[in-house]
Amino acid sequence: MPIQTQITVTVNGTRHTNPVEPRLLLAHYLREVLNLTGTHIGCDTSSCGACTVLLNGKAVKSCTVLAVQADGGNVTTVEGLAKDGKYHAVQQGFWDKHGLQCGFCTPGMMITAVQILERNPNPTEAEIRRGLRGNLCRCTGYHNIVEAVKAAAAASRAGGRKR
């Protein structure tokens, strides 16, 4: 058997302790070990961003992080965005503005959007586009994703809450 290392990671508020191979990618840990398949894998060169999650509050491409690097850390995936039965403003924005079609890039795209709005609650269109450039979408041409992020920003500001 390959060498296994014990890690403890808090994902969407739940603590998990598992033995993992040191080479296991965080994306695979989430998908295969924890069965959180909302995080998608779209490439093998850290290009597409479909696997983006928040690790200790920072958006990372989970295909480029080893699970062992997340040991002791705090991860938020798409499954953890909605709280108390209510969609996150970004989820609501994506639904209302038709920010998704096939849905494959959407989890990573939304996590990146959450990060953009955390850093800048009132971004311009150019700032949104710059913030999204590490996430690829082939369906929407980005038009409605940008609209979704704008809508989420407006809703978050109106709601006066920062997530």
Partner 1 sequence: MTTAFIGKSVRRTEDPRLITGKGTYVDDVKLLGMLHMALVRSPHAHARIKKINVSRASKAPGVVAIFTGADLQGQLGSLPVGWVLKQADTHTKYDMKAPPHPPLAFEKVRYVGDAVAAVVANDPYLAADAAALVDVDYELLGVVTDGEKATKRDAPQLHTEAPDNTCFEWDVHGGDYEGAAKKAQVVVKQKFINQRLIPNAMETRGVVADYNTGTNQITIWTSTQIPHLVRLLFAAVTGHPEQSVRVIAPEVGGAFGSKLYLYAEEIITGMIAKNLARPVKWVEGRQENYLATTHGRDHITYGEICGDKDGTITGLKVTTYANLGAYLSTFAPGIPTVLFGLMLSGVYKYPNVSCKVYGTFTNTTPVDAYRGAGRPEATYLVERMVDAFARELARDPVAVRRKNFLPPFKNGRAVATGVLYDSGNYRAPVDKALEMFDYKAFRKEQREARGSGKLLGVGFSTYIEICGMAPSAVAASLGAGAGLWESSTVRVHPTGKVTVFTGTSPHGQGHETTLAQVAGEHLGIPMESIEVMHGDTDRQQFGTGTFGSRSITVGGTALVMSLKKVKDKMRKIAAHQMGVPAKNVIFEDGKFYVEDIREKSMDFGTVVGEAYNAKNLPPGMEPGLEATSFFDPKNFTWPFGCHIAIVEIDEDTGQTRLKRYVAVDDIGNVINPMIVDGMVHGGIAQGVGQALQEGAVYGENGQLVTGSMLDYAVPTAEDVPSYETARTVTPSPVNPLGVKGAGEAGTIAASPAVMNAAIDALAHLGIRHLDMPLRSETVWRAINGAKAAKKAARSATATAARSGRKARR
CB of 70 closer than 8 Å to CB of 27: no
Between 93 and 122, how does the x/- string for binding to partner 1 read (CB under 8 A)? -xxx-x-xxxxxxxx--x------------
Compute the least distance from the CB of residue 43 to partner 1, in Å.
Answer: 4
Compute the least distance from the CB of residue 105 to partner 1, in Å.
Answer: 5
Among 6, 82, 119, 124, contact with partner 1 (rule: CB under 8 A): 82
**How many helices and strands (H and E) does the chain possess?**
5, 5
Among 9, 146, 151, 153, contact with partner 1 (rule: CB under 8 A): 146
Compute the least distance from the CB of residue 91 to partner 1, in Å.
Answer: 4
Q: CA Rg, the chain, in Å?
A: 16
* Cβ distance to partner 1 smaller for residue 40 or 73: 40
Assess 61 for contact with partner 1 (CB under 8 A): no
Q: Token digits for 14? A: 């739940």
Q: Token digits for 144? A: 């409605």
Assess 33 for contact with partner 1 (CB under 8 A): no
Assess 163 for contact with partner 1 (CB under 8 A): no
Can you tell me the distance from the alpha carbon of 20 to that of 133, in angstroms, rounded to the nearest whole number?
A: 32
* Cβ distance to partner 1 smaller for residue 72 or 97: 97
Q: State whether residue 127 is helix, strand or coil.
A: helix
Residues in contact with 26: Cβ distance below 8 Å, sequence separation at least 6, in sequence order: 53, 55, 60, 62, 63, 65, 66, 67, 69, 70, 75
Can you tell me the distance from the alpha carbon of 158 to that of 114, in angstroms, rounded to the nearest whole number?
A: 16
- State the residues that interact with partner 1 by CB under 8 A: 1-2, 21, 23-24, 31, 35-45, 47-48, 50, 77-79, 81-82, 87, 91, 94-96, 98, 100-107, 110, 125, 128-130, 132-146
